[in-house]
Amino acid sequence: MKIHPLFSTFANAVKKAEIESDKICLVSDFLYQPKISEYLGFDLFHVTRGRSIPFATGMKLGNPKLKVVVFVGDLITLGGNHFMHASRRNMDIVVICVNNFLYPKINGKKSPTIKSAFSPYSVFERPVNIPHVARSSRAVYVARWTALHKKELTESMTRALGKSGFSVIEVISPGNCYFAGIPASPKENELIEFYHKNSEIKNDEDTKNVEITAEKKIIVGKFFEKKRPTYIDSYNERHSKVIGDKFKIYE
């Protein structure tokens, strides 16, 4: 079976981050490749469209020892609100947002983050600047790479996995068929090359300026990193302060 490079990258990152693979839990609303869990040895949950982040929130709160990773495709449509609020709360999850310029599995319909050239209907829709929304909602780690920036992507994933807090990595990669292990069509291969060529690395760039438009190159890089107490940290801190000894640290 062919596994999308993204997954091998992710598996490498897990190895590098030295996290026990049993404790890794993937939540996704668009993964169609069931055997991933078997091959990589992670638990995988495929839930309703757009609700992967609240599902992950519940998992993390249910068992704080888990490392919950959310793979999302159309996050910014249905699940935009959950994204913003989980980010605000600083839920300790890693969000890998596969911005594939097409709705996964849905006949290449427009997605809000799409550039006009790739979908006939989206000319009049503005794209969301995911890194900027993430940063504005106080995510602690924000990066963007194309699928071909393997080295940088692995690094970013390793960093995000090692960090506690809401980390967002936007990965620009075309076509869900490709993503699901079906051999990419020449057009998709062309696209992925195109993205790679058309990108420019600018680390620590202000997220305001990284909007994807038809006019300029796709700016990639690690844009932002910060430390901030997570939801569970603040919960424990605040409650032990107010309640005192009667409160048992939640972990």
Partner 1 sequence: MKANSKGVLTGTHNLSGNEAIIEGAFAAGCRFLGVYPISPSLEATDRFLQRSGEVDATFVQMEDEISALAAVLGASWTGKKSMSVTSGSGLSNMMEHIGLGIMLQTPCVIVNVQRTGPSLGIPNGVAQGDTMQARWGSHGDYETIVLTPNSPQECFDLTIKAFNFSERFRVPVLLLTDAYIAQKKTLVKIPPTKDLKLISRKLFKGAKNKYLPYKNDKNLVPPMVNVGDGYRFHVTGLTHDERGYPVMTSECQEACVRPLMEKITKYQDEIIEYEEVETDDADVVVISYGATSTVVSKAISLAKKDGIKVGSFRLITIWPFPEKRVRKLAQKIDAFVIPEINFGQIAFEIERCAAGNCNVFFVPILGGGLPTPEDICKSIIKASKEKKKIEKLIEL
Partner 2 sequence: MAKKKIEPHPMENILRMDRIPHIWCPACGIGTAVTSFASALEKLKVNLDEVCVVSGIGCTGRVAGYTKVDSFHTTHGRAIAYATGVKLGNPKMKVIVFSGDGDIIAIGGNHFMHAARRNIDITVICVNNFIYAMTGGQVAPTTPLTAYATTSPFGNIEPPYNIPRLAEACGAVYVARWTALHVRRLTNSIVEAIQKPGFSVVEVISPCAQYYSRINRLGDGLDMMRFYHDNAVIKHNEPTENLDIDYQKQIIMGKFIDREKPTYIERYNEWLSESKPKKK
Partner 3 sequence: MAFGIEAEKEVIMKANKKDVLTGSYYIDGDVAAAYGAIAAGCKFVGGYPITPSTEAFEAFVHRAPYVGGITIQMEDELGSIASILGAVWSGKKAMTITSGPGFSLMMENIGLGAMLETPFVLLNVQRSGPSTGLPTQAGQADMMQSRWGANGDYEIIAISPDSPQEMFDYTIKAFNLSEKYRCPVMIMADECVGHMTEKVVVPEADKINIEPRRFYKGPKEKYLPFKPDKDLVPPMAKAGDGYKLHISGLTHDEKGYPTFSQTPDTKRLVDKIRLNADKIIELNEDEIDDADVVVVSYGITSRVAIRGIEQARAKGLKVGNLRLVTVWPFPEKRIAELSKKVKAFVVPEINYGQIVYEVERCAHGNANVVLVPHGGGFVHNPEDIFKAIKYAAQEKKKVEGIIEHKTELYRLIHEKNS
Q: Which is nearer to partner 3, 215 or 251 (CB)?
A: 251
Spatial distance between the Cα atoms of 125 and 186, rounded to a whole number of angstroms: 27
Angle between helices 150-162 and 5-17 (to 10 degrees): 50
Give whole-number Cα distances, 172 to 24, 150, 188, 242, 249, in Å. Answer: 23, 12, 12, 45, 40
Spatial distance between the Cα atoms of 249 and 55, rounded to a whole number of angstroms: 23
Could you give the string, one character per residue 13-42, with x where binding to partner 2 holds by CB under 8 A and - elsewhere?
A: ------------------------------
Q: What is the residue whose two structure tokens read 């924000």?
A: 142
Q: Which residue in the set 9, 111, 129, 156 belongs to the binding site for partner 2 (CB under 8 A)?
A: 129
Q: DSSP state, 195?
A: H
3-state secondary structure of 139: coil
Residues β-bridged to residue 242: none
Question: Could you tell which of partner 1, partner 2, partner 3, none binds residue 132, using a CB distance below 5 to 8 A set by kind?
Answer: partner 2
Question: Could you tell which of partner 2, partner 3, partner 1, none binds residue 115, using a CB distance below 5 to 8 A set by kind?
Answer: none
Spatial distance between the Cα atoms of 76 and 59, rounded to a whole number of angstroms: 21
Q: Are strands 218-225 and 141-146 parallel, antiparallel or unpaired?
A: antiparallel
Asked if residue 50 lies in contact with residue 79, where contact means CB atoms within 8 angstroms, the answer is: yes
- Residue 184's φ and ψ, nearest 5 degrees, are -70, 145
Spatial distance between the Cα atoms of 47 and 200, rounded to a whole number of angstroms: 34
Angle (CA) 181-187-193 rounded to 5° is: 85
In the structure encoding, which two tokens stand for residue 5, read together? Answer: 């490079």
Could you give the string, one character per residue 34-73, with x where binding to partner 1 holds by CB under 8 A and - elsewhere?
A: ------------x-xxx-----------------------
Could you give the string, one character per residue 202-231, with x where binding to partner 2 holds by CB under 8 A and - elsewhere?
A: -----------------------------x
Could you give the string, one character per residue 31-70, with x where binding to partner 3 holds by CB under 8 A and - elsewhere?
A: -x-xxxxx--xxxxxxxx-xx--xxxxxxxxxx-xx----
Least distance to partner 1, CB of residue 78, Å: 4
Could you give the string, one character per residue 83-122, with x where binding to partner 1 holds by CB under 8 A and - elsewhere?
A: --------------------x-xxx-xx-x--------x-
- Site of interaction with partner 1 (CB under 8 A): 46, 48-50, 77-78, 80, 103, 105-107, 109-110, 112, 121, 125
- Site of interaction with partner 2 (CB under 8 A): 76-81, 84-85, 88-90, 112, 120, 123-129, 132-133, 135-138, 231, 234-235, 237-239, 242-243
- Site of interaction with partner 3 (CB under 8 A): 22-23, 25, 27, 32, 34-38, 41-48, 50-51, 54-63, 65-66, 81-82, 84-85, 89, 231-232, 235, 239, 243, 246-248, 250
